[in-house]
Chains A and B, each alone.
Chain A
Amino acid sequence: MTQSLSLMPDSNSDSEVISENISQPLIIRQLPDISLPSTSSMMKLQQHLDLLLLALEALQLGGSEYMLATAKELELNGIIKNRLSLWRLRCSNPWRKCYSRNSLTLLQAKALVCLASESAKKCNIPLRQLLLAVQQMKDKEMPLANNFRLSEYFSQFQAHFRRRMNPLRAKVSFYLSTPEELNLLALSLLEELLFCTGTRGKERFWISLFDGEVK
């Protein structure tokens, strides 16, 4: 059965139509098919994926360019064509100012997970350095922001978050008003990114997205 999805039309009124039964890239096929949950659960999933990609951008300057290059290497450019289409997919995050009320399809969600996982692998060294720094600072009972690399990461994460997220959302407002909590969120995403770099990382992360959401 062919399913097609039309995304929001751009300013020239062209709409992108993606056919779900095109031969899927190999990397996509490594992720098992799972029945997509309800709209509200999908909103959480979409929010989670966008924040994970945001963490990647905060981890590495120019992260979004690297992500697009990675999408092309993974032959995901049928789904993530260019910067605009990636942005549209990420606007499925209900916390965003540009929230589009679209839900990701199974194929699009898988593509974003693969993209996050493979991009994280490329950032393996700075990722591990940051997590090592977290451990060292906590062992010495020193504030994390005293570490230069961590401080940079937190700043970048906060800047992206503040610029993109809608402050009228209760949760967004909470994070914007309590930077310590926002930093904790940024750290938890770093740990997830580490797990995404594993041999079965993207499969594990994919399954974890649906914990508590399947029948």
Chain B
Amino acid sequence: MERQYLSPNCILSLQGFSDGNNSSDVPILSILSQAQCQIIGNPVILSGGLTFIQHLIKAVSAYSQTLLSGLNHTWESSDDTDYIVLQKIPEKNRHLLTWQEKKAQTKNQLQIELTTVQLFDLLETIDQLYVDKYTLPQLEDNPQPLSRRYRQGEISIIEQSTPITLGFAGLALAAIALFILPNPNTIKDPNQEPKPNINNTQTIPPSPPLPDK
């Protein structure tokens, strides 16, 4: 049997068959023969078996979460075949998807450049596959929020520099204000001022007693 998942820029096709343990009316494609992934307009077609589709899902899912939050989502597999990785090409405003037959070897390698819209459409077909409970229900993709320790050092440059910039600006303003104030060099030494003349002090005579009522 064949299942296809479509988006405006991507076709994801899966061929396989059921393992016979099927209690639903709709046959479940539980054993994969081959999967193919094609970006419309691009001659490169990625294909492979279960490991390929599992790695494709994990790589695209992790990369998409990374794009959304700016924090790096990674994925691991004990199987180093069908290695898939995505990275940004900032100068082209694009993303590069690389498939390698083996993780450590670059000789058998395919690469596809994707615009953000094409990347999203690839993600969309993968998510359509994931939510289809009649096709490879054993596939796993559960993105989780990253913990706080991933955030260290990820604060944007703007956020980091704003308090420092404001601090410097405040210091500069204070320095300017203090510079403008005149130097207090005309205050007389109070010890040298003439003392008040005690001989001129007059004694106030006591007031007459009030008459008794």
* Chain A residue at smallest Cβ distance from B9: A128
Residues of B within 8 Å of A, CB-based: how many? Answer: 33
Q: Assuming A135-B115, A204-B64, A204-B65, is B145 touching A210 (CB within 8 A)?
A: yes
Q: Are B65 and A174 in contact (CB under 8 A)?
A: no
Q: Are B147 and A214 in contact (CB under 8 A)?
A: yes
Q: Are B65 and A208 in contact (CB under 8 A)?
A: yes
Q: Are A171 and B162 in contact (CB under 8 A)?
A: yes
User: Among A171, A200, A214, which residue has its beta carbon within 8 angstroms of that of B130?
Assistant: A200
Query: B115-162: which residues lie under 8 A (CB-CB) from chain A?
Result: 115-117, 120, 123-124, 127-128, 130-131, 143-148, 150-151, 154, 158-159, 162
User: Among A131, A170, A171, A212, which residue has its beta carbon within 8 angstroms of that of B151?
Assistant: A212
User: Among A132, A208, A209, which residue has its beta carbon within 8 angstroms of that of B117?
Assistant: A132
> Chain B binding site: helix, strand, loop or mixed by DSSP?
helix
Residues in chain A near residue B158, CB distance under 8 A:
171, 174
Residues in chain A near residue B166, CB distance under 8 A:
170
Q: Are A198 and B145 in contact (CB under 8 A)?
A: no
* Chain B residue at smallest Cβ distance from A34: B145
Q: Are B115 and A211 in contact (CB under 8 A)?
A: no
Q: Are A195 and B69 in contact (CB under 8 A)?
A: no
Residues in chain B near residue A200, CB distance under 8 A:
127, 130-131
* Chain B residue at smallest Cβ distance from A203: B143
A–B pairs, 20, beta carbons within 8 Å:
A128-B117, A138-B93, A170-B162, A174-B162, A192-B68, A195-B68, A195-B123, A198-B120, A198-B127, A199-B124, A203-B143, A204-B68, A205-B68, A208-B145, A209-B69, A211-B70, A211-B151, A212-B71, A214-B145, A214-B148
Please name 6 further chain A to chain B contacts, defined as beta carbons within 8 Å, in addition to the given A195-B68, A211-B70, sorted by A numbering.
Answer: A131-B117, A198-B127, A207-B65, A208-B65, A209-B145, A211-B71
